Amino acid sequence: MDREPKASKERKSEFKTPSGISLKQVYTEADVASFSDDRLGLPGVYPFTRGVQSTMYRGRLWTMRQYAGFGSARQTNERFHYLLDQGQTGLSTAFDLPTQIGYDADHPFSKGEVGKVGVSISSLLDMETLFEGIPLDRVSTSMTINAPAAVLLAMYIAVGKKQGVEPQKLSGTIQNDILKEYVARGTYIYPPGPSMRLITDIFSYCARHVPNFNTISISGYHMREAGSTAVQEIAFTLSNACAYVDAALKADLLIDDFAPRLSFFFNAHNNFLEEIAKFRAARRMWARIMRESYGAKNPKSWQMRFHTQTGGSTLTAQQPDNNIVRVTIQALAAVLGGTQSLHTNSRDEALALPTETSARIALRTQQIIAHESGVADTVDPFAGSYAIEALTDQLEQEARAYMDEIARMGGAVRAIEEGFMQREIHQAAYETQLRIERGEEIVVGVNAFTLENETEPELLRISDELEQSACAQLAELKKRRDESQVRAALKRVTDAARSSDNLMEPIIEAVEHYATLGEVCDAMRSVFGEYQGTQ
């Protein structure tokens, strides 16, 4: 049986990027609007099209920050140590679903989900175990947590204190991007108003006490995973970023006090040229927005610093070894686009959490790119390419048009409430799926070059006994702690939620008394309520 699709024998007559941008057969100087300093310039110079540092990877390689977390805090701690021993240069923490929506391991809603898609964290005791033997003054940690970000950050600060590390010496990032949860991911707790208040409270607290922590990682990644195009990823991410800036300004924060600690999180997909151009366009757009629209004076406020993760939705369960190649292409695009840190997905993540072997291969992919490919030896090596510069301009123009439409609607929050971003992403995802089903878009091993009777690789399995153990540990913790101190601390959280006081200080106090994640989130639920989503 001939399994080779017609498209592989006879090439199509028209070529477009996944965002629908038509590609010319040959690009020349006439296709590029300008190579002038206000569009291209030099690395480390406004508008930072070519990178946020003048030396980029010649001075320091990107942080190799492999996303890891599964099962118990002890299991994930062992994986952290393994990855650090293998040459990883930063930590990135994946939390399980109950943790992401503010429930303890013993909550009825947590049943069957404890430790399954990330590490289970219910209390400061779990957080202490998670970072046991890891000096927090020498390792930066990213935490992919949103609705309960304030509570997890409070626990991290408390662990640092127990290690003798003052908050001002801690470095890392909390994702803390709630708007994209309403758009694409769904792990929200509170309505938008209180959620934005929590975010600005974190901005304010960290500017004063934890100055080296990135207080938000504004994420296009999850919108891309939900099916957005590269254009939508830029436009919706930057529109959400403007909403956070507006909220902070409304809370009387000064732009240059918090803007230098804003960071971003992007996806890297398979279309190599479009992805490189996407990163360059987004960086240039953010610089202009911050300087021209918001009047920021500090050059660090203009710089878009971002983490990249290779595309989870591009991974296939069929022929999973093919994913190693996909991830390599995507990682190269991120590096050539100027990322500050990078996670490379593992080959088996379309099937399960990665095994230790798969995680090592993913890390080795980054190390080979860094040390053997030569792409890190000169800054922005694709700059001046007619094709890259033309794509950068086109992506910026189309993303700007989207942002203007969102601004006319009243901004990102209003656009989300009206379902605009959601509809646009759903339509883009639907059109992509149609192209795949028609064979117009080839996915190797799925709709072309398939195999019969594939052998499933060895997968990581999470035992159901983990949940029982987590619940037992939580029960023991509640017996040992000072219950009167816990109740008093939780009341202070509730009182702060009812007032305009900054919530971070009472939350830190509560977790230091071993109030659990769920208890602190419930204290705020009692005031803020829960968001039910759009119908």
- Reported as a single tens digit per residue, the pLDDT across 242-275 is 999 999 999 999 999 999 999 999 999 999 999 9
Report how far residue 201's alpha carbon sits from residue 204's, in angstroms, rounded to the nearest whole number: 5
Instruction: Provide mean pLDDT across the span 491-511.
Output: 98
- Omega of the bond leading into 47 within 30 degrees of 0 (cis): yes
Burial of 191 (0-12, 13-18, 19+ CB in 10 A): middle
Residue 482: pLDDT above 60? yes
What is the share, in percent, of the chain residues with pLDDT greater than 70? 97
Q: How far apart are CA 456 and CA 44, in angstroms?
A: 47
Q: In Å, how far are 53, 281, 297, 339 from 239, measured between CA atoms?
A: 24, 14, 21, 20
Sign of CA dihedral 279, 282, 284, 290: negative
**pLDDT for 14:** 87
Q: Which candidate, 176, 167, 165, 155, places its Cα nearest to that of 212?
A: 167
Please, are residues 315 and 323 in contact by the beta-carbon 8 Å criterion?
yes
- Residue 381: CB atoms within 10 A of its CB come to 12
H or E element at residue 64: strand 63-64
What is the per-residue pLDDT for 284? 97
> For the segment 338-390, what is each residue's pLDDT rounded down to a tens digit?
999 999 999 999 999 999 999 999 999 999 999 999 999 999 999 999 999 99
pLDDT of residue 1 exceeding 70: no
SS3 93: strand
Residue 90, pLDDT above cutoff 70: yes
- 138 and 161 Cβ atoms separated by less than 8 Å: no
Structure-token pair, residue 236: 């919706």
- 26-35, 81-90, 407-416: range with lowest mean pLDDT: 26-35
Does the pLDDT value for residue 402 go beyond 90? yes
Nearest to 175 by CA among 276, 29, 309: 309
Alpha-carbon span 266 to 310, nearest angstrom:
9
Scanning the structure block, which residue is given the tokens 């007559």?
13
More confident of the two residues 77 and 534: 77
All domains in the chain, ordered by first residue: 24-47+62-423 (3.20.20.240)
Q: What is the mean pLDDT of residues 150-161?
A: 98
Q: Is the pLDDT of residue 12 over 70?
A: yes
In 3D space, the residue among 310, 313, 363 whose CA is nearest the CA of residue 339 turns out to be: 310
**Mean pLDDT calculated for residue range 117-136:** 97
DSSP 443: -
Whether residue 166 is predicted with pLDDT greater than 90 in this model: the reply is yes
- Residues paired with 309 in a beta bridge: 267, 343
Indicate whether 8 pLDDT > 60.
no
What pLDDT was estimated at residue 448? 96
Residue at 335: amino acid letter:
V
Distance of alpha carbon 375 from alpha carbon 368, whole angstroms: 11
Beta strands (DSSP E) in 127-269 are: 141-144, 172-174, 213-214, 216-219, 262-268
CA 360 from centre of chain? 21
Round to whole Å and give the CA distance between 352 and 334: 24
- The pLDDT mean for the chain works out to 95
3-state helix, strand, coil in the chain (%, to 5): 50, 10, 40
